[in-house]
Chains A and B, each alone.
Chain A
Amino acid sequence: KAGVTQTPRYLIKTRGQQVTLSCSPISGHRSVSWYQQTPGQGLQFLFEYFSETQRNKGNFPGRFSGRQFSNSRSEMNVSTLELGDSALYLCASSSSAGVSGYTFGSGTRLTVV
């Protein structure tokens, strides 16, 4: 079956702009989580959605937001981009509370200049 699909793979934005990233989970997976990965901070949890509801949120400013659609696809948005937002953004899907682990997408590499 198809894996987790993230688009776009690479993105270059200017400070102050906003960006929207997309994630399509594995078919049948209703939970989608988002992570930010940077060399300095490692992998950090952003938020999790299940059946179009945000169930959990990490410690990120309000500029980071997300949503999930009825087909379980999810988007995350970052407004007023800062240089420090440059990172690999990963989404992960799971079937049931991650008991079989989480399947990650290939990520979106965001560069803010």
Chain B
Amino acid sequence: GQQVMQIPQYQHVQEGEDFTTYCNSSTTLSNIQWYKQRPGGHPVFLIQLVKSGEVKKQKRLTFQFGEAKKNSSLHITATQTTDVGTYFCAVDGGTSYGKLTFGQGTILTVHP
């Protein structure tokens, strides 16, 4: 099955600094989804990317899908304390119904 490696595992930033987390696979991915989980919370869907080279933006968040569809990134510009949480990439199994394969997640801490 499709597997994804996510780095870094932890990231500490000062408020206002930028943050990036990366998701990599050795195989071509059919799609990539990104989720955010606040401390004590549950994963919340952010976005899905399916096209090679796709770039999508949500306010300060920029999501990219690599040209070879083997990697993806989430970039946050000028972090805020509300950005604290764990960011996961995940691959939807398609015909492997309902199965999301998650990366290990990046835990983001923002210091005010």
For residue B112, which residues in chain A have a CB less than 8 angstroms away from its CB? none
| CB of A97 within 8 Å of the partner chain | yes
For residue B93, which residues in chain A have a CB less than 8 angstroms away from its CB? 56
Q: Which of A80-104 contact B (CB under 8 A)?
A: 90, 92, 94, 97-104
Using A56-B93, A97-B94, A98-B92 as known contacts, say yes or no to A45 and B45 having CB atoms under 8 A apart.
Answer: no
B contacts with A, residue count (CB < 8 A): 24
Instruction: Work out how many contacts link A and B, with CB atoms closer than 8 A.
Output: 71
Q: Which of A11-51 contact B (CB under 8 A)?
A: 31-33, 35, 42-45, 47-50
A contacts with B, residue count (CB < 8 A): 29
| CB of B88 within 8 Å of the partner chain | yes
Please tell me which stretch of B19-27, B63-71, B95-103 contacts chain A, meaning at least 4 of its Cβ atoms lie within 8 angstroms of it: B95-103
CA distance A32 to B96 in the complex (A): 13
**B42 near A90 (CB under 8 angstroms)?**
yes
For residue B48, which residues in chain A have a CB less than 8 angstroms away from its CB? 99-101
- Interface SS of chain A: strand
Closest chain B residue to A91, Cβ basis: B42
Give the most central of A43, A45, A97, A104: most B CB within 10 Å. A43
- B: which residues have CB within 8 A of A? 33, 35, 41-48, 88, 90, 92-94, 96-102, 104-105
Q: List 16 A-B contacts (CB under 8 A).
A: A31-B97, A33-B100, A42-B105, A43-B100, A45-B98, A50-B98, A56-B96, A98-B33, A100-B45, A101-B33, A102-B33, A102-B43, A102-B45, A102-B100, A103-B45, A104-B44
